[in-house]
Amino acid sequence: MADDAKQPGDPALAKRLRQALRGDILFDAFSRGRYSTDASIYQIEPLGVAVPRDRDDVAAALAIAREEGVSVLPRGGGTSQCGQTVGRSLVLDCSKYMNGIVSVDAANRRAVVEPGIVLDRLNKVLRKDGLFFPVDVSTSSRATIGGMTANNSCGSRSLRYGNMVHNVRAIDAILADGTATHMGETSGNFGDDAAVPERMRDLVRRMRALHRREADEIDARIPKLLRKVGGYNIDMISDAGHNMAHLLVGSEGTLAFFNAIELDLQPIPQNRVLGICHFPTFYKAMDATQHIVKLGPAAVELIDRTMIGLSRDIAMYRPTVERFVKGEPAALLLVEFAGDDGDDNLRRLTQLGTLMGDLGFPGAVVEAIEPAFQSAVWDVRRAGLNIMMSMKGDGKPISFIEDCAVALEDLADYTDRLETIFKRHGTYGTFYAHASVGCLHVRPVINLKQDIGAKTMRAIAEEAFAMVREYKGSHSGEHGDGLVRSEFHEKMFGTRIVAAFKEVKDAFDHDGLFNPGKIVDPPKMDDRSLFRFKPGYATPDIKTVLDWSEWGGFAGAVEMCNNNGACRKSDPGVMCPSFRATADEQHLTRGRANTLRLALSGQLGTEALTSDTMRETMALCVSCKGCKRECPTGVDMARMKIEFLYHYKKRHGLTLRDRLVAYLPRYAAVASRLGGLLNLRNRLPFAAKLGEALTGLSARRKLPVWHSEPYRDLQNPPLPLRERDGVRGLLPDDASGAAPSPSHRSATGPPELLSKGLSREGRRDKCVVLLVDTFNRWFEPENARAAERVLHRAGYTVIAAPAPDNGRPLCCGRTFLAAGLVGQAREEARRTIAALKPFIENGIPIIGLEPSCLLTLRDEFTVLLPGAESAALAKHAVLFEEFVASEIAGGQFALSVSALPERAALVHGHCHQKAFNTVGAVEAALRLIPGLDVKSFDATCCGMAGAFGYEAEHYEMSMKIGELAVLPTVRAAAADTLIVAGGTSCRHQIGDGAGRQALHLARVLDRASRSAT
């Protein structure tokens, strides 16, 4: 197939596809750019992308491709590491629509699925039958069964369950000539069965003839290891009968398109235990593996010293690592025993301890019996590669010899020699993963932006593969061949086997319709014109408005995305709500990062960064910061969106809606006086419609209601300390939102005075600053007043931070950031930092109520105004719940509380609370209340996300995101369960979408403590 028959984006081809297919056709440059990479080092622009709805669409696309003379590249999650999912072809993405379960036969433990279904989703469905599909790849949250099948993927427990090839029973495939076939078991006399189409019989005959002819060579050259996924599985052909589907497994999209895959399922083991073996040297861990596997474990996985160190540095993993790592081991082996007999598993765990003692490491096993602890340990192991990829800078751990496999007896020597090779080339690597099957992952750190990097890669590859051959190992033990490995088939398998591979390709796909250049006829693996960072790749400096120095610039931050696809997960966690709702690559953290990278490096034409197409790419990013926490390499798209908006708005100007939202903190005091009038908009449908026409704020939404008694701390005179000391017990017995009388208010005033006074009386440690944000001040002042009362009752002196010149209240600037008005936001930051500085210098905590506002002080302020002052503020700025929880933990929170009529509380964490890990603090604070059953739930964004859900064009999407988890969960809660939500927009969304009133934690504590005082 002539790949250059068409140019990328060919309009005639796109038109034909649009006419014939029901699915999406994506031929614009931005979409092509998003599909030009997988998780490998390569980047090739496809001709275009079709997202078929069903097998009819696939058949139609293949027919058009044949007629137009273009090749086809099937695609799942695009997480391949070897470049098998990139090519100058028509990409067929099956992940969006072709992702159903066709049937489950629980009695016979079989399932038939469409290729685009993600492994975790399949296993979630199978769980109710006590079954699972056991090829547990690390990318289980986004790897599709189609991609796993075509890559012959392997999991951590392959020692027990084997690879894909051992678990796929049959495949419904469509061949290059359009023949639809069912590939499965074929008996010895298969060729005589007239009921089988001649095309199929011919294929079987040819494969068997090939096998007969090459049997000796196959026996001599194909490694006899479990972890062998290079080339086609010609060693599995047999005259006596074989499974034709096994030839398609591992074919990397080069032989046929899979429409459906039949899988063998396994019963979920009723019991698992984990022993974490500690070793003083890496060599000893490798040497011990061969003995450990004799105990019959389901998995033996390696974590080395570098990985332990990197995991300790990641907040999310630190507590787990502290629990399962004792001391400073050079390497750990995670040894799992699984089966229905719990006693037997424990017995084997004891044997493991004895064996470790015999090997010279007594007491070196940490036991994990509790399932939650085990799964936390596995989470760290699964995140291994991702953790490594969090390395900043141009030198990155590169995947090319990452999954070589050798026999266990050779493992220690092999890894030792590999390290010597790395050293000789001036680099190093980190080892981890599947020790049990001799397949360790290792990525040397190389800078592929430079020619010397590409040369180093080739030199290491040649030396490493030569060594693997010496050990009769496998150069491709897990991730497949793609562009990075296919070239080495000749050296590893010899010319006869490579000729046999070509014969297979020719028999299935004579004209080269499917995924050219993979497995057979590959290009050079170090051809830099195929790299993501091609010769001449450059990202000209743009004058950024935020500080990106931590990554060496904005482009460096964007390039942190290595396409591993973790943002495609759907459960659990937050990332990435817009993808969860759309299943579109465009609306995915990865899609956005790739688009930004291509734009910054000039690959999408001039002014791409500030184009409307880029705006569309960023439009559904709700700035939830889910990626900041959950992206393994720390891609922080919310921050990138601010940078983008700044440049975009600078070029295109602000809309009226931008201004209305951005300047809200500035005009709120005036508008509040007209609150009664403005609130009419919510009651008069025509006013809402007119409002939508004028401002773009959805008429289907009620806007936040201006409160008749806003929070007005600034109007209160400073109180002498004596009076402040006496405030406890004088508070109004009222949570209705009415303003307390001045005598009950917090102290305000010049900070020098206050701090002096406080110092004199030694009360500084019992003082806090309550920073009331725009939303809690003008719309929901009852929250601020409740917080104030709670803090007073608990014995704190609450200081309302004075604004300079007693002017408008302090502000975090978030509304400006949301409109790209970074200069204004910086101004607010400067003002806030200056006003709070004296308190910070006195060690007084700054407490906020609204997560997105307060956490701006901890997050964006540090890049708006990098330096010691913003860093100091970041250290002192805490959410109300964090303060309460830490005081409770320190035994200093003297709040008397009594039981509430409600017996349960359901906590919905705002995305930023999740990003900064504060939901646990809300739960801890609520647990002060006797008899209250407190639960939080795992969910992505509620969909409101600041102003997003109010925007007319985003209303539907906002509700769709809400319906992913938050709204149904709240609806399902018992009527007398308290719904607790820290974010003002979350409370509104819950009110609008679930018809329930959600309360801020402060109000719940206020109610519980009111009756107790």
Ligand X SMILES: Cc1cc2nc3c(=O)[nH]c(=O)nc-3n(C[C@H](O)[C@H](O)[C@H](O)COP(=O)(O)OP(=O)(O)OC[C@H]3O[C@@H](n4cnc5c(N)ncnc54)[C@H](O)[C@@H]3O)c2cc1C
Pick one of ligand X, ligand SF4, none as the site partner of residue 637 (Cβ within 5 to 8 A by kind). ligand SF4
> Which of 49, 126, 631, 790 touches ligand SF4 (CB under 6 A)?
631
Q: Which phi and psi angles does 767 have, rounded to 5°? A: -105, 145
Strands in 94-139 per DSSP E: 101-105, 110-113, 131-132
Question: Reduced to 3 states, what is the DSSP secondary structure of residue 857?
Answer: helix
Pick one of ligand SF4, ligand X, none as the site partner of residue 567 (Cβ within 5 to 8 A by kind). ligand SF4
User: Which of residues 47 and 941 has its CB atom nearest to ligand SF4 in the complex?
Assistant: 941
Q: Is 415 in the site for ligand SF4 (CB under 6 A)?
A: no
Least distance to ligand X from the beta carbon of 375, Å?
16
Task: Look at residues 566, 628, 583 and name the one whose alpha carbon lies nearest to residue 911.
Answer: 628
User: Which of residues 99 and 345 has its CB atom nearest to ligand X in the complex?
Assistant: 99
Least distance to ligand SF4 from the beta carbon of 17, Å?
27
C-alpha 482, offset from chain centre:
24
Site string for ligand SF4, 526-565 (x = CB under 6 A): -----------------------------------xxxxx
Pick one of ligand SF4, ligand X, none as the site partner of residue 478 (Cβ within 5 to 8 A by kind). ligand X
Long-range (24+ apart) CB contacts under 8 A made by 117-123 are 117/144, 117/145, 118/77, 118/142, 118/143, 118/144, 118/145, 118/568, 118/570, 119/143, 119/144, 119/145, 119/148, 120/569, 120/570, 120/571, 121/570, 121/571
Query: What is the distance between the alpha carbons of residues 653 and 665, in angstroms, rounded to a whole number?
Result: 20
Least distance to ligand X from the beta carbon of 238, Å?
24
User: Which of residues 716 and 862 has its CB atom nearest to ligand SF4 in the complex?
Assistant: 862
User: Which of residues 381 and 639 has its CB atom nearest to ligand X in the complex?
Assistant: 381
User: Which of residues 561 and 939 has its CB atom nearest to ligand SF4 in the complex?
Assistant: 561
User: Which of residues 509 and 902 has its CB atom nearest to ligand X in the complex?
Assistant: 509
Q: How many residues lie near ligand SF4 (CB under 6 A)?
A: 28
Q: At what angle do helices 451-470 and 408-424 cross, to 10 degrees?
A: 150
Alpha helix stretches (DSSP H) within 313-407:
318-324, 342-358, 371-382, 384-388
Least distance to ligand SF4 from the beta carbon of 618, Å?
8
C-alpha 649, offset from chain centre:
29
Pick one of ligand X, ligand SF4, none as the site partner of residue 710 (Cβ within 5 to 8 A by kind). none
Pick one of ligand X, ligand SF4, none as the site partner of residue 258 (Cβ within 5 to 8 A by kind). ligand X
b/e 810-828 (16+ beta carbons within 10 angstroms → b): bbbbbbbbbbbbbebbbeb
Pick one of ligand X, ligand SF4, none as the site partner of residue 479 (Cβ within 5 to 8 A by kind). ligand X
Least distance to ligand X from the beta carbon of 450, Å?
23
Residue 546 in tokens: 């935020």
Q: Is 578 in the site for ligand SF4 (CB under 6 A)?
A: yes
Query: What is the distance between the alpha carbons of residues 728 and 739, in angstroms, rounded to a whole number?
Result: 17
Element (H, E) at 453: helix 451-470
* Residue closest to ligand X (Cβ): 147
User: Which of residues 562 and 755 has its CB atom nearest to ligand SF4 in the complex?
Assistant: 562
Query: What is the distance between the alpha carbons of residues 701 and 956, in angstroms, rounded to a whole number?
Result: 11
Query: What is the distance between the alpha carbons of residues 532 and 41, in angstroms, rounded to a whole number?
Result: 6
> Which of 329, 444, 577, 710 touches ligand SF4 (CB under 6 A)?
577
Least distance to ligand X from the beta carbon of 267, Å?
22
One-letter identity of residue 1008: A
> Which of 566, 768, 961, 1005 touches ligand SF4 (CB under 6 A)?
566
One-letter identity of residue 567: C
User: Which of residues 589 and 698 has its CB atom nearest to ligand SF4 in the complex?
Assistant: 589
User: Which of residues 258 and 839 has its CB atom nearest to ligand X in the complex?
Assistant: 258
User: Which of residues 253 and 710 has its CB atom nearest to ligand X in the complex?
Assistant: 253
Q: Is 614 in the site for ligand SF4 (CB under 6 A)?
A: no
Contact in structure between 305 and 329 (CB atoms under 8 Å): yes
Task: Look at residues 96, 149, 104 and name the one whose alpha carbon lies nearest to residue 122.
Answer: 104
Least distance to ligand X from the beta carbon of 671, Å?
50
Contact in structure between 630 and 566 (CB atoms under 8 Å): yes
Per CB under 6 A, residues contacting ligand X are 38-39, 73-81, 84-85, 94, 115, 137-139, 143-144, 146-148, 150-151, 153-155, 252-253, 257-258, 385-386, 478-479, 515, 564
Contact in structure between 922 and 966 (CB atoms under 8 Å): no
Least distance to ligand X from the beta carbon of 957, Å?
25
> Which of 589, 595, 856, 913 touches ligand SF4 (CB under 6 A)?
589
Least distance to ligand SF4 from the beta carbon of 577, Å?
5
Pick one of ligand SF4, ligand X, none as the site partner of residue 385 (Cβ within 5 to 8 A by kind). ligand X
Query: What is the distance between the alpha carbons of residues 195 and 191, in angstroms, rounded to a whole number?
Result: 10
> Which of 573, 626, 710, 757 touches ligand SF4 (CB under 6 A)?
626
Pick one of ligand SF4, ligand X, none as the site partner of residue 625 (Cβ within 5 to 8 A by kind). ligand SF4
One-letter identity of residue 784: A
Beta bridge partners of 934: 905
Pick one of ligand SF4, ligand X, none as the site partner of residue 622 (Cβ within 5 to 8 A by kind). ligand SF4
Task: Look at residues 392, 444, 395, 399 and name the one whose alpha carbon lies nearest to residue 556.
Answer: 392
Say if strands 846-848 and 877-879 run parallel, antiparallel, or are unpaired. Answer: parallel
Q: Is 593 in the site for ligand SF4 (CB under 6 A)?
A: yes
Contact in structure between 482 and 80 (CB atoms under 8 Å): yes
Pick one of ligand SF4, ligand X, none as the site partner of residue 936 (Cβ within 5 to 8 A by kind). none
C-alpha 955, offset from chain centre:
25
Q: Which residues bind ligand SF4 (CB under 6 A)?
A: 561-567, 575-578, 589-590, 592-593, 621-627, 631-633, 635, 637-638
